């Protein structure tokens, strides 16, 4: 288990940083776009939902003004210790510093469900004020989450929504079905509307995985793009690589690979490159692990469909602090204008980005403004 405790005092990290992320392409991006005709087929975007979320954070901070927050203790519990969450942990740390609260970051090793359940039970026993959680298994965590809510502990779902809990839980993250649709549209464009595709995923039960795959299927429905394999690696990056290799071997005419969990992107890129099929087999990857970014630079991965894990860490701390100090009713009132109903869940969207070789540098520059090292 990875456990990092951050004991933070009040400092100022201006919300204007988020507003400064305009999504405009740079000269380097434009040059890359012209050099890569495949990327030029896709209209990239790096705007996410940063402006609205910065506005919400400002309102919460104003409501908290004058309150003593030094004793507030919150936690961020993720599903697997992958590089994807580095950005989220930075967001958590920055928000904790701004508000002057205590925050800790916890990850079950290798995405182990029993470890995550133990983490949640320990947080309840330790009487933490609130936690965000990306569930390894949404059904299995209902018990610990229900127990936490009964004990007065605030809970916010991140990365993957939670349904079926005794009290509805707000989901802070990407509308996963919409993200899957964007991936499917990108794949359809890259393949010219026809071709065989394999799907790599870390789970067939986690809500984020099932919803993204459903969105992908919806986008390609009625086209000549056809899924020939859906391969589950059970949160094991080494198995993801062997799955990618197997898909290529079993389907010599495979035209594309869609990768659902963050480490699946590097696995697909490595397998495609080793097979000598870079640019021939198109790869659309969810999330931006460092190796996936490198493969975009090299033209091995054509597109990344991105969440905003920074906001899941950052706004998560703000929401949990508000729930503790302002109470649920007041927090719900602040949230109401920013919530939508997506996939049957009350969703605070962190937005969706589409990054290709054409706007990669813009995306990386935006991360640096947030204090994230790509």
224-263 confidence digits (pLDDT tens): 999 999 999 998 999 999 999 999 999 999 999 999 999 9
Q: What is the model's pLDDT at position 315?
A: 98
Q: Is the pLDDT of residue 4 over 80?
A: no
Q: What is the pLDDT of residues 104-119, one digit of tens each?
A: 999 988 788 999 999 9
Q: Are 301 and 313 in the same domain?
A: no
Q: What is the pLDDT of residues 179-226, one digit of tens each?
A: 999 999 999 999 999 999 999 999 998 888 999 999 999 999 999 999
Q: Are 181 and 145 in the same domain?
A: no
Q: Is the pLDDT of residue 173 over 80?
A: yes
Q: Is the pLDDT of residue 73 over 70?
A: yes
CA 238/CA 285 separation, integer angstroms: 17
Q: Are 82 and 195 in the same domain?
A: no
Neighbours of 77 (CB within 10 A): 22
**234 is a domain residue:** yes
- Do residues 181 and 215 lie in contact, with contact meaning Cβ atoms separated by under 8 Å? yes
Tell me how many domains the chain contains.
2
Q: Is the pLDDT of residue 15 over 80?
A: no
Tell me the three state secondary structure of residue 368: helix
**Average pLDDT taken over every residue of the chain:** 90
Q: Is the pLDDT of residue 6 over 80?
A: no
Q: Is the pLDDT of residue 30 over 50?
A: no
Q: Is the pLDDT of residue 57 over 60?
A: yes
DSSP state of 173: E
What average pLDDT score do residues 15-39 get? Answer: 48
Segments forming the whole domain that contains residue 194: 176-306
Q: Are 206 and 314 in the same domain?
A: no
Lowest-confidence range among 18-22, 36-40, 221-225? 18-22
Q: What is the model's pLDDT at position 80?
A: 85
Q: Are 162 and 50 in the same domain?
A: yes
Q: Are 11 and 158 in the same domain?
A: yes
Q: Are 294 and 322 in the same domain?
A: no
Q: What is the model's pLDDT at position 235?
A: 86
- Do residues 258 and 200 lie in contact, with contact meaning Cβ atoms separated by under 8 Å? yes
- Rounded to the nearest angstrom, the gap between the alpha carbon of residue 181 and the centroid of all alpha carbons in its chain is 15
The H or E element that residue 198 is part of is strand 194-201
What percent of the chain is predicted at pLDDT more than 90? 79
Q: Is the pLDDT of residue 280 over 50?
A: yes
**30 is a domain residue:** yes
Q: Are 62 and 18 in the same domain?
A: yes
Q: What is the model's pLDDT at position 343?
A: 80
What average pLDDT score do residues 83-88 get? Answer: 91
What average pLDDT score do residues 64-77 get? Answer: 97
Q: Are 71 and 214 in the same domain?
A: no
- Do residues 242 and 274 lie in contact, with contact meaning Cβ atoms separated by under 8 Å? no
Q: Are 185 and 165 in the same domain?
A: no
**321 is a domain residue:** yes
Q: Are 11 and 133 in the same domain?
A: yes
Domain CATH code at residue 81: 3.40.50.2300
**112 or 339, which is more confident:** 339
**87 is a domain residue:** yes
**374 is a domain residue:** no
- Indicate the burial class of 253 (C-beta count within 10 angstroms; 0-12, 13-18, 19 or more): exposed
Q: Are 18 and 150 in the same domain?
A: yes
């Amino acid at each position: 288990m990875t456990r990092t405790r951050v004991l933070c005092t009040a400092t100022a990290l201006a919300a204007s940083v988020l507003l400064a992320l305009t999504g405009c392409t740079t000269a380097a991006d434009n040059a890359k776009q012209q050099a890569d005709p495949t990327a030029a087929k896709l209209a990239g975007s790096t705007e996410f939902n940063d402006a609205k979320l910065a506005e919400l954070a400002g309102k919460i901070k104003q409501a908290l003004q004058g309150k003593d927050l030094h004793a507030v203790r919150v936690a961020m519990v993720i599903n697997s210790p992958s590089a994807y969450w580095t950005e989220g942990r930075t967001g958590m740390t920055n928000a904790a510093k701004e508000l002057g609260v205590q925050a800790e970051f916890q990850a079950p090793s290798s995405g182990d469900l029993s470890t995550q359940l133990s983490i949640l039970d320990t947080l309840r026993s330790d009487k933490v004020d609130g936690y965000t959680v990306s569930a390894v298994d949404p059904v299995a965590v209902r018990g610990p989450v229900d127990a936490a809510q009964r004990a007065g502990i605030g809970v916010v779902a991140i990365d993957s929504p939670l349904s079926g809990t005794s009290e509805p839980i707000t989901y802070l993250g990407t509308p996963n079905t919409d993200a899957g649709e964007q991936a499917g549209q990108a794949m359809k464009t890259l393949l010219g509307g026809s071709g065989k595709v394999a799907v790599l995923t870390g789970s067939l039960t986690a809500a984020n995985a099932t919803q993204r795959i459903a969105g992908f299927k919806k986008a390609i429905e009625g086209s000549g793009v056809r899924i020939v394999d859906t391969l589950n690696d059970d949160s094991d990056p080494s198995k993801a690589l062997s799955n990618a290799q197997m898909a290529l071997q079993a389907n010599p005419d495979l035209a594309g690979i869609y990768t659902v969990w963050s480490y699946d992107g590097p696995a697909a890129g490595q397998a495609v490159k080793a097979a000598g099929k870079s640019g021939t087999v198109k790869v659309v990857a969810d999330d931006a692990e460092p190796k996936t970014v490198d493969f975009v630079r090299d033209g091995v991965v054509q597109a990344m469909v991105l969440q905003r894990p920074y906001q899941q860490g950052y706004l998560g701390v703000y929401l949990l602090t508000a729930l503790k100090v302002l109470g649920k009713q007041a927090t719900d009132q602040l949230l109401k204008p920013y919530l939508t109903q997506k996939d049957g869940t009350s969703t605070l969207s962190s937005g969706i980005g589409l990054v290709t070789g054409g706007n990669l540098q813009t995306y990386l520059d935006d991360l640096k403004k947030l204090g994230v090292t790509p």
